[in-house]
């Protein structure tokens, strides 16, 4: 029979769900029995294809909405609640990684502010609104709610020439620990998944050349980058009863990279 990772009858919101890690998370959550709503910024065709592949609007829905401010985060949560009358799981997966190197002494204010708006300010709004919804719905140890933030290896060891990204993701690690201390006793489990390099549209340019692959793969003991599904699986696990005694955890999914960093 195997062991089931079930989210039967749960309602989940996954941000940045049209591609990469987000899309794989949506697929897995649907397979686990959840109903899922996700947002996308510009990938309409990919979003519509994913909804169709996941059973259509009775199981999966897509919302076109950018996430760059706290207000936009709160709006997306309200949209999810309005769609199906509640919310049990929030996966904060969206983010931006400016691919060009930006030395700190020349980094533009606009880049810093944009990265923080997308990677951090909107997360505040999402978390604030979701926690309010979880509490209003009566989250408890017997009826737990789940919040998973997706950070990065860069949050823990930094990333030269990408200080904006590393700082924003480092804040998510601290936010995970703070929220867990605040909310675990109220039936709201807060955890973080911290991927290393993953084969997604956002990062693929970094290892598109032989030199880039050698640079990236040389930092990973497993000798390769992750697939999106290899990150989505741990996200799913953290939202199931099998993770019922886990809160405040930073789950590294990086092929051992942080240990040698």
Six token digits for residue 35: 């109903």
From CA 149, how far away is CA 173, in angstroms rounded? 8
Distances (CA, A) of 206 to 5, 16, 101: 34, 20, 11
From CA 22, how far away is CA 24, in angstroms rounded? 5
Q: Is residue 199 within 8 Å of 226, Cβ to Cβ?
A: yes
Active site residue 40: no
Catalytic residue of the set 165, 189, 192, 252: 165
Q: Is residue 189 within 8 Å of 146, Cβ to Cβ?
A: yes
Cα-Cα-Cα-Cα dihedral sign, residues 41, 42, 46, 48? positive
DSSP letter assigned to residue 198:
B
Q: Is residue 226 within 8 Å of 195, Cβ to Cβ?
A: yes
Phi (first) and psi of residue 56, to 5 degrees: 85, -175
From CA 5, how far away is CA 240, in angstroms rounded? 6
Six token digits for residue 249: 């955890």
Residues forming the active site: 165
């Amino acid at each position: 029979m195997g062991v089931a990772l079930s989210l039967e009858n749960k309602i989940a919101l996954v941000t940045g769900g049209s591609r990469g890690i987000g899309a794989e998370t949506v697929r897995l959550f649907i397979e686990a029995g959840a109903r899922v709503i996700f947002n996308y910024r510009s990938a309409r065709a990919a979003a519509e294809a994913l909804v169709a592949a996941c059973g259509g609007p009775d199981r999966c829905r897509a919302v076109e909405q950018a996430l760059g401010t706290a207000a936009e985060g709160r709006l997306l949560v309200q949209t999810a609640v309005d769609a199906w009358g509640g919310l049990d799981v929030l996966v904060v997966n969206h983010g931006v990684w400016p691919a060009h190197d930006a030395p700190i002494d020349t980094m533009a204010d606009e880049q810093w502010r944009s990265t923080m708006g997308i990677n951090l300010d909107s997360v505040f709004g999402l978390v604030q609104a979701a926690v309010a919804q979880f509490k209003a719905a009566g989250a408890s140890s017997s009826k737990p709610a789940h919040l998973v933030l997706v950070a990065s290896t860069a949050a823990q060891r930094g990333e030269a020439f990408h200080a904006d990204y590393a700082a924003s993701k480092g804040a998510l690690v601290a936010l995970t620990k703070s929220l867990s201390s605040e909310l675990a006793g109220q039936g709201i489990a807060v955890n973080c998944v911290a991927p290393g390099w993953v084969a997604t549209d956002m990062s693929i340019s970094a290892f598109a050349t032989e030199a880039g692959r050698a640079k990236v793969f040389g930092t990973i003991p497993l000798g390769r980058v992750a697939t999106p599904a290899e990150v989505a699986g741990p996200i799913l696990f953290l939202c199931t009863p099998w993770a019922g005694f886990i809160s405040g955890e930073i789950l590294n999914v990086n092929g051992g990279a942080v240990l040698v960093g």
